[in-house]
Amino acid sequence: MFNNLLSILKGIVNGPVKLTEYELGELENIFAILIYPNIAGFPIVPTYISMCLLPYIEKEIIVALNKIVYNDDQFVKWLSSLDVT
Applying CB under 8 A, the residues found at the interface with another protein are: 16-17, 20-21, 23-24, 27-28, 30-31, 34-35, 45-49, 51-58
- What DSSP state is assigned to residue 38? G
Handedness of CA 22, 63, 73, 39 (dihedral sign): positive
* Shortest reach from residue 42's CB to another protein, in Å: 12
* Shortest reach from residue 39's CB to another protein, in Å: 16
C-alpha closest to that of 20 among 68, 81, 71: 81
* Shortest reach from residue 21's CB to another protein, in Å: 6
Query: Which residue, 2 or 48, is less far from another protein as judged by CB?
Result: 48
